[in-house]
Amino acid sequence: MKFYIPQDTTALACGAEAAAHALQAAGIEPVRNGSRGMFWLEPLLEVDTDAGRIGFGPVSSKDIPSILDALEADASSHDLYLGQVEQIDYLASQQRLTYARAGLGDPVCLDNYQALNGFKGLKTALAMTGQQIVDQVKDSGLRGRGGAAFPAGIKWQTVHDAGGSAAADKEPCQKYIVCNADEGDSGTFADRLVMESDPYQLIEGMAIAGLAVGATQGYIYLRSEYPVAHKLLDIAIERAEAANFLGDNIQGSGKAFHLEVRLGAGAYICGEETSLLESLEGKRGMVRAKPPLPAIEGLFGKPTVVNNVLTLAAISTILEQGAETYQNFGMGRSRGTLAIQLAGNIKRGGLIELAFGVTLREVVEEYGQGTYSGRPIRAIQVGGPLGAFLPESQWDTPMDYEAFAAIKAMIGHGGIVVFDDTADMAAQARFAMEFCVVESCGKCTPCRIGSVRGVEVIDRIVANENRENNLILLHELCDTMEMGSLCAMGGMTPFPVRSALAHFPSDFTGQGRGDN
């Protein structure tokens, strides 16, 4: 029998290291895999048996002796027995493309990755022209898995075409691939799970991106609070270089791509692509005015593709399985799958990968099983700290970029934070403004000053000071921030504030949380 205990951040936080030590004390060396994303079951112990891979969870070190005894007799008799892991309802009903390999083995084992079809997409790309690769990405319908949801293929086409044709006596125009792994939105962990459970997939996607646009250097701008991901990425990059999947002559093709990890500056604003580039260049992370776009003048003034982890990780699947296969998932202009992250006051928190189109209610009630507290859900915030608070009347909205835009909300990175009926939504609106105060880069006045004034105005409204005039002032302030800010930090802070005002007005009366 082979035993598996995850080594990702969530499992470690839940006691996976102690469980692994208990197995080692019993003479068993477990495979340290990555999490499958069922966080409420972590640490999840998986065991390969003659009947398939079965699971136990959540386990602690003290459970290991009794589990080993049960495996000798009747595994199903153990209280923590979960049955076949792949048949757990939370996992079995998902449509996994990006996370198909997550949890299946050691994330930095190159042989394991290749046995699971890893690097097939890169090998396909090596036989194609850059334009053919870009066309595949455009045909797939892939959109950036961030706030803007901009079509990835269009961005790549711009970088592919940038720089013009080099003269015979000059070097080709230097271009870069930059992965935005500064995952800072509340309730998000999808990027981390890719990097900790399947890092080669990101490496492969970035190498394909380099081949597509003619870039020979890539950087992963990694959130500094992700030490486990940092360690695993460094190991994976070193092994990929040794196996000739990175370097000057990838698989004897004569094509080059080099990759390095750079730690982020610990600032939320560095998740904005131009602020990220400033930080990557060694400067203070401040937003750049656009134009020029990074695709034209990005890192060190050169054409640059900036995509996040989920966008680049999807590329290997598209090149391996074909654009049409990827296009067959989703709805409307939202193609492929969405990594949905359930957090906050939720009974079964974790990651779900489904085709676009599932409703918010299905996700929270069927997968999340309601609140952890057992109380009714009152509000759901989607898309991080700049996302709107959605009341029950909007939970049947399909998770689709256009459908969410129609209700003045956003999907963003797919993070979902659930609040039960004890939540004070005026306090949440204030937090949104205060978050902007703390995290603004300070470059533009609407964001820098508007957020400070916003906190003050909300405090006056809750204190019932000149209430009606302050409500008018708050809406006008939100207009100014939305229309006048240089980036989405200030431009989208009004989203949670306005939604709280619109859907939970009684919370702003100074009486505390009211029933709406």
Report DSSP letters for 129-172, one per residue: -HHHHHHHHHHHT-B-SSSS--BHHHHHHHHHHTT-PPPTTSPP
User: In terms of domains, do 87 and 206 share one?
Assistant: no
Helix (H, G, I), strand (E, B) or coil at 318: helix
The CATH number assigned to the domain holding 495 equals 1.20.1440.230
Please state, in angstroms and rounded to a whole number, the distance separating the CA atoms of residues 161 and 223: 30
Helix (H, G, I), strand (E, B) or coil at 357: coil
How many other C-beta atoms can be found within 10 angstroms of the C-beta atom of residue 78?
18
Pick the last residue of a domain from 92, 126, 144.
Answer: 92
Distances (CA, A) of 424 to 301, 343, 420, 439: 46, 18, 10, 22
User: In terms of domains, do 295 and 249 share one?
Assistant: yes
103 in any annotated domain: no
40 in any annotated domain: yes
User: In terms of domains, do 432 and 479 share one?
Assistant: yes
The CATH number assigned to the domain holding 391 equals 3.10.20.600
Cα within 13 Å of Cα(178), Cβ side:
32
513 in any annotated domain: no
pLDDT at position 149 is: 86
User: In terms of domains, do 42 and 18 share one?
Assistant: yes
Cα angle for residues 88, 338, 9 (degrees, 5° grid): 65
Please state, in angstroms and rounded to a whole number, the distance separating the CA atoms of residues 235 and 221: 16
356 in any annotated domain: yes
- Range list of H helices, 179-288: 190-197, 199-213, 227-242, 273-280
Q: DSSP class of residue 501?
A: H
pLDDT at position 169 is: 46
47 in any annotated domain: yes
pLDDT at position 165 is: 46
CB 146 within 8 A of CB 155: no
Helix (H, G, I), strand (E, B) or coil at 20: helix
Q: Is the pTM of this model over 0.85?
A: yes
User: In terms of domains, do 173 and 315 share one?
Assistant: yes
Pick the last residue of a domain from 369, 391, 420.
Answer: 420
The CATH number assigned to the domain holding 43 equals 3.40.30.10
User: In terms of domains, do 152 and 273 share one?
Assistant: yes
How many other C-beta atoms can be found within 10 angstroms of the C-beta atom of residue 242?
11
Cα dihedral across residues 257, 259, 264, 268: positive or negative:
positive
105 in any annotated domain: no
394 in any annotated domain: yes
- Minimal CA–CA distance to 97: which of 331, 307, 416, 322? 322
pLDDT at position 109 is: 97
Q: Along the 516 residues of the chain, how does pLDDT read in single tens digits?
A: 999 999 999 999 999 999 999 999 999 999 999 999 999 999 999 999 998 999 999 999 999 999 999 999 999 999 999 999 999 999 999 999 999 999 999 999 999 999 999 999 999 999 999 999 999 999 999 998 887 889 999 999 999 999 754 444 456 789 999 999 999 888 899 999 999 999 999 999 999 999 999 999 999 999 999 999 999 999 999 999 999 999 999 999 999 999 999 999 999 999 999 999 999 999 999 999 989 999 999 999 999 999 999 999 999 999 999 999 999 999 888 999 999 999 999 999 999 999 999 999 999 999 999 999 999 999 999 999 999 999 999 999 999 999 999 999 999 899 999 999 999 999 999 999 999 999 999 999 999 999 999 999 999 999 999 999 999 999 999 999 999 999 999 999 999 999 999 999 999 986 655 444
Give Cβ neighbours of residue 89 (< 8 Å, ≥ 6 apart): none
User: In terms of domains, do 430 and 478 share one?
Assistant: yes
For residue 405, what is the enclosing H or E element?
Answer: helix 401-406
Pick the last residue of a domain from 394, 420, 446.
Answer: 420
User: In terms of domains, do 353 and 291 share one?
Assistant: no
- CA end-to-end span of the chain: 55
User: In terms of domains, do 149 and 236 share one?
Assistant: yes
User: In terms of domains, do 161 and 223 share one?
Assistant: yes
- Boundaries of domain holding 485: 425-508
pLDDT at position 166 is: 43
The number of distinct structural domains making up the chain is 4
The CATH number assigned to the domain holding 297 equals 3.40.50.11540
User: In terms of domains, do 138 and 173 share one?
Assistant: yes
516 in any annotated domain: no
pLDDT at position 148 is: 80
CB 391 within 8 A of CB 409: no
User: In terms of domains, do 273 and 174 share one?
Assistant: yes
From edge to edge, which strands make up the β-sheet containing 2-4? 2-4, 45-49, 52-56, 81-84
